[in-house]
Structure 1
Amino acid sequence: MPYDPFLARIGSLPLFFSPLMANSTWNFSELIPSLSLERRQPVSVKTFAQCFVPAILSYYLTAVLVLIPRTLVLRLALLPVTLLLAYRSLLRLDFASDLGEWYNFLNQGHALALATLTFRVCIWTFKKEPLRRRRSPQKPNPVSSELGQLLLDASDLVFNLRGIGWDWSHGITLPLERRDITSTPSFLLTTFRWFIANTLAMDCCHYAVQWFAPHTLGSPTGGSVFDASLPLPMRYGRAVLITFVSGFTVYFAINALYHMFAIIGITVFRQSPMQWPPVSDKPYLSTSLNEFWTKRWHQLFRDCFIGFGGKPLMLVIGRVGAILGAFLASGILHDAGTWGMGRGTDVSYISGFFFMNGVGVLLEVLYKKMTGKRVGGFVGWIWAASWLLGWGMLLVDAWGRRGLVGSKFFGNAFRPSFLLFEPLY
């Protein structure tokens, strides 16, 4: 379906949202080159080794160097190499070519991983002091040699997004741990149950979103969340409901993936349960946007967004720049993921969602300055939910029109929701 005309008129908001207008000259998405899937190669052992592995090795080498004093010049020299290798991998690999268009979300994941890599190497390159891992006096180093420990620390660093056990994770809020971290078997059993529960919940929510329009929005072809054939109230009521359920789909999916990686990290790589605190803290209970984004929603990319966007803009326009810069960095990351699917980007809709959440946080800051009170309580919950759902329609619509909602995470014969309900296609 095409852009909704009413939403396009809303897009006449000055400057940033003028690209939403159909006749706007501010269509930033047109400035970004297309990543055509036809020009990419199917993933094989050979193409994976030639295109993806070099970028990862360069990323790992940067992680090693940022742990060693006086390596700034080496990191500066390595930075353009790493960025070019990451871009090369993005241009050349198609992770869904042999699986079908239902699995194009794998290309989104590939692009998100490379964007995260890009953010982190840029941040690490300009670090003035080496990053340090916190050591427990009760636990000796797992390896005896300094080189071995350095390589082990770098391995942890490349996967450790929140900085658990590192000196750079200042200010992060971790959810309260409710599992038994003193018993690894008990911790794993609880985590496995949570993995199963979140996987089932994710698939049921995903099924519900696809059910609204199985052959457009719920298919790889894609479609808008806005049905222009419906009267205006029903059209936007439907879009809000789709956005609401889509939010829970993302929430459960992130939880399920995190629990899966926790099980792998503990069983295969012998990590401690303490290295896997909960990833989120019931974000649906948030009574302000600030609480949602800084405490209850997952903080996996917090360091990336602050280091890549927040700190640079803070130097220019202070606290306002710090807040907007972090949200713009988040928009860039999510736009990059969509770009990787080979169907273009939608800067005004995707980055627009995150930018407007930064504006919402600034409004809460202004409210506190004017009243001396923080946004909170039931009214705060209504405010946060309304703002997230209202602007969230932009994000979900952009994803829906590019076929992301139509992804297939399970085979039809094994999809839990297809076994519980009737198949959609």
Structure 2
Amino acid sequence: MPDRRCVFVFADAPCSDIATQHPHLVPFFPPTFSSTPTLATPPMPILPSSTAPFGFLEPLHAYVLAHSEPLTWSNWWRLAVLPTIPLFLQAVLLRKEGTRKDRLALAVVGIALLWHACLRYRFEQPWFNALNNGISIGCMTLTVRYLEFALIKGRLIDQYWEDKGQHWLVSAFDVCTNARWIGLDPVEPRSNGIEKGGKRPKADKDVSVGTEVRPGHKAISPARNYPPWVVVPNSPLSRSHATIRHLTIAFRNYVISDILLSLLRSFGADSIGSSTPVPGALHRFSSDNTFVLFPKLGNGLESPWWLTEMAAVIAVALCVWLGLSMGYHAIAGVMVGTGLHEVEAWEIDLFDHPLKADSLLDFWGHRWHQFFRHSFTLVATQTLRFLHLPVTSTYVLGLSFFFSGAMHALGQFTMDPVPALFPIFVLFPISGLGCALEVQFKRWTGKKVGGFWGRLWTWSVMLITGRWAAIAWFESGVGGSYLCPAWAGDLLKPFILEWILNRK
């Protein structure tokens, strides 16, 4: 091996001569400068673009994709279980006064564990890419919950169900998962949980569970006055009946959503049902295919191209609706069936008949799921206070829709390929603007938006903005995703193709 100390002998010689005569010394000398101009490094993008969908965050996005690990059965607990343990400990500490510093420390640990796992583990299969979106949105939601639990002053207890005999550990778990804040201290613009802490709802004072005995009569069934947030079935349900009901709804929603996904993958294998990016997927799908409804009835009914595109867009919304509802009722069936929760605890449905909405305010404020409403209201309120802006319903509403759009867009951070962010983001601010117009309409006319014209207005806005989001998903390969076990759709597809819908 040559003696590297000889480098000092040639200290006064030109580097090029040394490199030629002694090639083993080349690594010790810097490259010679050339007069040939080099290409300038493009500046880091600030705003999102087709090549940098996350703008100035694109280097981090590229780093995450390059260093992530596939999510498997052997490491799922690192993402789904480990980062939530500090949150449960926060809920336990919220049962006592003077634990704010400890809860703040747990928040730091929990958020660090959460985002370390979220940015490290992801589904790398193209047909599971859409699930990465749900994981990122869940991590953002848990981050807000960590911060909220850290900053709450006082105690926070799910008192109503504890008074009915619920174990305190189950109650602490309920506080963690009660995203809609049902039965807990409500967060309002001028009085929120961070400032005042959790308090027993006033409605709980009206709860009385006991046995009413009239003079000369036998004891009758207990008389119960439920707080307004407890939905009591029209006819009393036993635990077994309630469990079967929840599981039946979950199975029904699974069958319908899996049929829709199966048809998307079958009919649009080279367009909207592909698991890889397809530019102009929706237009290609409608122009290359002609569909016939009820093919066994004579010649059937031929679907025009615009109806085909509308059906594809609606199918996306239905899959989101039915998929979330399926998960909700499946969990309800387990919780009620195992006896961890009372039957009434899960009678508040996640959705309230979205198709009945006759205004945007009705749709977003009542009919659609309210899973994120508490978090958006909280973040919007604290943002306004930080900026020293008036905390009014108008500002809170506008910021809530802005944060909703940002969450759904940034939720695609671990996806690859990434759908176009702007169409997904803008859906929510436009809905917020529509809600503001409805409020202004009531001020001008004294009437609420509703009825036939309200439905026409609502669904026109939702179909137009929903189409933009659907196109972004279709063109990135989300339409070919497997969001649930592929069984019912493949089983029933031959019958559907023969009797209900087929290609010409």
Structure 2: 5+ residue stretches without partners: 1-46, 189-200, 202-226, 288-303
Is 1:350 paired with 2:424? yes
| 1:410 pairs with 2:485 | yes
Which of 83-92 and 51-60 deviates more?
Answer: 51-60
Helix, strand or coil for the counterpart of 2:119? helix
- Structure 1 residues without counterparts, runs of 5 or longer: 1-18, 143-148
Number of residue pairs matched by the alignment: 391
Cα deviation 1:164-223 (Å, max 9, x = unaligned): 343347899979665755311221222222222211222233344445522232121144
Q: Which shows bigger deviation, 240-249 or 110-119?
A: 240-249
Q: Relative to structure 1, is the Cα distance of residues 354 and 186 closer, same or farther in structure 2, using a 3 angstrom cutoff?
A: same
Name the CA distance, whole Å, in 2 between partners of 1:21 and 1:77: 38
Give the direction of change, closer, same or farther, for the CA distance of 1:55–1:41 in structure 2 (3 Å limit). same
Partner of 2:379: 308
Contact map agreement 1:29 1:346 (CA 8 A) in 2: no
CA offset at residue 254 of structure 1? 1.6
Distance in 2, matches of 1:28 and 1:411, equals 31
Instruction: Give the SS at the match of 1:80.
Output: helix
Q: Distance in 1 between matches of 2:311 and 2:461?
A: 14
| CA distance in structure 1 between the aligned counterparts of 2:443 and 2:305, rounded to whole angstroms | 38
Q: Post-superposition shift, 1:59? A: 2.4
Question: Bigger relative contact order, structure 1 or 2, given CA contacts below 8 A and separation 6+?
Answer: 1
Match of 1:383 among 457, 476, 480: 457
> Which amino acid counterpart does residue 128 of structure 1 have in structure 2?
K
Find the residue that maps to 1:300 and give its secondary structure: coil
Change (3 A) 1:137 1:218: closer
**Matching of residues 56-135 of structure 1 within 5 Å:** 56-94=84-122, 96-97=123-124, 100-135=125-160
Deviation of 1:403 after TM superposition, in Å, equals 2.3
Asked if residue 248 in structure 1 is aligned to residue 318 in structure 2, the reply is: yes
Q: Larger % of helix: which?
A: 1
**Amino acid paired to 1:394:** W
> Does residue 327 of structure 1 match 2:327?
no
Please list the CA deviations of residues 76-97 of structure 1 after superposition, one character each: whole Å capped at 9, or x if unmatched: 3333332222211111112x34
Q: Counterparts of 2:447 and 2:253 in 1: how far apart (Å)?
A: 36
Q: Does 1:191 align with 2:262?
A: no
Instruction: Work out which of the residue numbers 318, 340, 343 in structure 1 matches 2:414.
Output: 340
Conserved 8 A contact 2:162-2:171: no
How far apart are the structure 1 equivalents of 2:398 and 2:341? 36
**Per-residue Cα deviation, 1:6-41 (whole angstroms, up to 9, x for no partner):** xxxxxxxxxxxxx89989xxx873233326544212
Kept after mapping to 1: 8 A contact 2:352/2:367 = yes
Secondary structure, aligned partner of 2:276:
coil
Letter of the 1:103 partner, please give it: F
How far residue 269 of structure 1 moved from its aligned partner, in angstroms, is 5.2
Rounded to whole Å, the distance in 2 between the matches of 1:139 and 1:196 is: 30
- Code of the aligned partner of 1:287: D
Give the TM-score normalised by structure 1.
Answer: 0.80
Shift of 1:274: 1.0
Report the counterpart of residue 56 of structure 2 in structure 1. 31
Query: Which residue of the other structure, out of 446, 459, 470, is the alignment partner of 1:372?
Result: 446
Amino acid aligned to 2:333: I
Separation of aligned partners in 2, 1:345 and 1:32:
15
RMSD, aligned CA: 3.4
Other-structure match for 2:362: 291
Q: Label 1:413 to 1:71 Cα distance change in 2 as closer, same or farther (>3 A).
A: closer
Partner of 2:8: none
Shift of 1:140: 3.4
CA gap of 1:189–1:152, structure 2 versus 1, over 3 A, is closer
SS in 2 for 1:341: coil
Q: Distance in 1 between matches of 2:133 and 2:486?
A: 19
- After superposition, the C-alpha distances for 1:370-406 in whole angstroms (9 at most, x for unaligned) are 1111101100000110111111122222222332221
Q: Give TM-score scaled by structure 2 length.
A: 0.68
Cα pair distance change 1:401/1:113, threshold 3 Å: same
The equivalent of 1:13 in structure 2 is none
Call closer, same or farther: CA 1:189–1:22 in 2, change over 3 Å: closer
> Per-residue displacement from partner, 1:300-326 (whole Å, max 9, x unpaired)?
222122112355347625322201221
* Aligned CA distance change for structure 1 residues 221 and 345 (closer, same or farther; 3 Å): closer
- Does the Cα contact within 8 Å between 1:367 and 1:373 map onto a contact in 2? yes
Secondary structure of 1:128 counterpart: coil
